[in-house]
Amino acid sequence: MTTISVDRVSRWFGNVVAVNDVTMTIGPGVTGLLGPNGAGKSTLLHMMGGFLAPSTGTVTLDGAPTWRNEDIYHHIGLVPEREAMYDFLTGREFVVANAELFGLPNAGFAAQTAIDTVQMEYAADRRIATYSKGMRQRVKMASALVHNPSVLLLDEPFNGMDPRQRMHLMDLLRKMGAEGRTVLFSSHILEEVEQLAHHIEVMVAGRHAASGDYRQIRRLMVDRPHRYTVRSDDNRALASALIADESTAGIELDLRDGVLHIQAIDFVRFTRRLPHVARERGIRLYEVSPTDESLESVFTYLVGA
Amino acid sequence: MNRTIARLTMRGLLSPRRLMLLSLIPLVLLAVAGLLRGLAEGLEIDTATTILSSLAIGTVLPLIALICGTGAIATEIDDGSVVYLLAKPIGRPTIVLTKYLVALFGTILLAVVPTAIAAFILAGADKGIVLGFTASALVGALGYSALFLLLGVVTRHAVVVGLLYVLIWESLVGGAVPGAQALSIQQWSLSIGEKIAADGLIASAVSLPVGASLLTAVALFGLYFAVQRLRSLTLAGEQ
């Protein structure tokens, strides 16, 4: 049982605030750290991993500070995002070296177990320089698992993996979580997080935007007002028909661009009703596009919620 | 000292291909020594010591030490692979000391040993010239390696800063401004040789006590600050 506590932590680089007054507790099981690029996920992970000092606040691992404390690495396995990893070694040599650096008495055996766990035996004796991104990711994973840590920190672990490798890593992380390890991974892709983690922490623009069960957060994301841009052969008639339906809250007739800007409050109903309404009135739809589906806007909405 | 770190550093620093390329530097020194010996039958002892001071101690030694000292750690910090050393329950002094010993080994192999051989070719076994220059090169290696290792931890432009120090400060300024010589690892190293060799054959701008103590101070402070810096190393490029 190992718990990471982040207590009122801020971190700034010069004038830029990367992490802003964040408090969270990460316990056993799989937790997803979700947020758009530049939200401060990596900065937070670096502070948890002891590679960055918080500007204010404390980051502790079972009560012990992570900054300038080498002892935490007995308990932490780290999977960094960056690729570089002693390319001149073979995968096996790399994992064995990591096992030795952890001071394990039987480094060869521990390395073999870790290599088997990530299913890299078939390429273990090839030089890392020849590995694909997914293979590198798995060897990094093996090097982080080799000392059987109670905490696993992974920075964007699914980047560059193909679907099969992704599924395999997800299975592995699920298993680690089920064994009672504290597994925290960062991602900017909602689908990745919801497939793997029940518990998610959402970061937006350095702030801690949401925390909890992903289903609830997902619902918040789905239920928010959606904006659409619609172009048809009779915008005015379509507007009057749609505003009568309870799925919309506002419609703007944009004469200059010849489009409708629609704010839908019941996303599911709106997407079903729109084609029906158009057909009933004999209106031809040329374009229906959501205008704020970027992840950033979803997150920004969450911050306000 | 940690054997695994030593092994990793050694393989990164002195891979067969790198070793071959790096060997070109001492080979030039040996070629010059051989040529001079072969061409000039009665080689003046002064010419020999000048060549050894400026080419061996003044050029080959700092150059090799720079490559080995920065290469032992700066490359890993640059590409981020140092995280695999730092995310381990290993004391930072152990990491720095191990890297230092590997850098030192490379410098001894590629600069100190060639200096000894060149000195023997140029001056023969008498008058303590071989011993004098070898000792100078060895203590110089101790100082340079610590300084360049520190540079590798402190700045991302360690090679450039190191080159500026060697080329501008030690060679250019040190050659023209007598006062600057007092602050030069090269001169401190030569103060040992000056003491060992027969009178007046090896010249240094500083006395042995001054040279030895400054050299020790630089080596110790270099290692100490490298440890401190590594403790607070923030891995760049995370944003």
Query: How far does the CA of residue B228 sit from the closest CA of chain A (Å)?
Result: 10
Residues of chain A found within 8 Å of residue B8, distances taken between Cβ atoms: 86, 89, 97
- At residue A29, the 3 state secondary structure works out as strand
pLDDT of residue A300: 64
Q: Pick from B96, B100, B88: which is nearest to B230 by CA?
A: B96
- Please state, in angstroms and rounded to a whole number, the distance separating the CA atoms of residues B155 and B151: 6
Model confidence band, residue A222 (pLDDT cutoffs 50, 70, 90): low
Of the pLDDT bands very low, low, confident and very high (cuts 50, 70, 90), residue A63 is: very high
B167: which DSSP letter?
A: I
Inter-axis angle of helices B185-196 and B61-71, nearest 10: 130
Closest Cα in chain A to B237: A82
**Res. A101 pLDDT band, cuts 50 70 90:** very high
Beta-carbon separation of B12 and A101 below 8 A: no
Given pLDDT bands bounded at 50, 70 and 90, which one contains residue A91?
very high
Q: Mutate which of B83, B92, B231 to test chain A, going by most A C-beta atoms within 10 A? A: B83
Contact B191, B197 (CB under 8 A): no
Confidence of residue A165 (pLDDT cuts 50, 70, 90): confident
- pLDDT value of position B44: 79
The mean pLDDT of A4-18, rounded to a whole number, is 94
Stretches where chain B sits below pLDDT 50 are: 237-239
Quickly list DSSP for A168-186. Answer: HHHHHHHHHHHTT-EEEEE
Please report residues of A whose CB lies closer than 8 A to that of B239.
Answer: 13, 18, 38, 42-43
Q: Which residues contact A225 (CB under 8 A, 6 or more apart)?
A: A249, A263, A264, A265
Average pLDDT, chain A: 89
**Cβ within 8 Å, pair A38-B8:** no
Token code pair at residue B181: 């010589």
Confidence of residue A145 (pLDDT cuts 50, 70, 90): very high
CA pair distance B28, B207, nearest whole angstrom: 30
B125's CB contacts (< 8 A; 6+ apart) are: none
- Residue B154, min C-alpha distance to chain A (Å): 16
For chain A, the distance separating the N- and C-terminal CA atoms, rounded to the nearest angstrom, is 33
The predicted model gives A39-67 an average pLDDT of: 94
Give the gap in angstroms from C-alpha A53 to the nearest C-alpha of chain B. Answer: 8
Residue range A63-86: mean pLDDT, rounded: 93
Looking at A105-258, which runs of residues are DSSP E strands?
151-154, 182-187, 199-204, 207-213, 226-232, 248-254
Q: What is the mean pLDDT of residues A125-146?
A: 94
Closest-CA residue to A305 (of A219, A246, A247, A229): A219
Residues of chain B that touch chain A, judged by Cβ-Cβ distance less than 8 Å: 2-5, 7-8, 11-12, 15, 79-81, 83-92, 231-235, 237-239
The verdict on a CB contact (< 8 Å) between A100 and B4 is yes
A chain contacts of residue B5, beta-carbon cutoff 8 Å: 101
| Predicted local confidence at residue A298, as pLDDT | 65
Nearest-Cα residue of chain A relative to residue B13: A88
> Which pLDDT does position B238 carry in this prediction?
41
Give the closest residue to A184 by CA, choosing from A5, A4, A31: A31
Cβ–Cβ of B84/A52 closer than 8 Å?
Answer: no
B80 and A74 within 8 Å at the Cβ level: the answer is no
In this prediction, residue A280 carries a pLDDT of 92
pTM of the shown model: 0.84
Indicate if the pLDDT at residue A75 is higher than 60: yes
Nearest CA in chain A to B88: A73
Residue of A43, A51, A75, A127 for testing the chain B interface, max B β-carbons within 10 Å: A51
Q: At A134, list the tokens.
A: 């997914």
Is A49 within 8 Å of chain B by CB?
Answer: yes
Put simply, the chain A residues between 121 and 150 with a CB less than 8 A from any chain B CB are 143
The full length of chain B comes to 239
Contact at 8 Å (CB) between A171 and A18?
no
d(CA A280, CA A187): 43
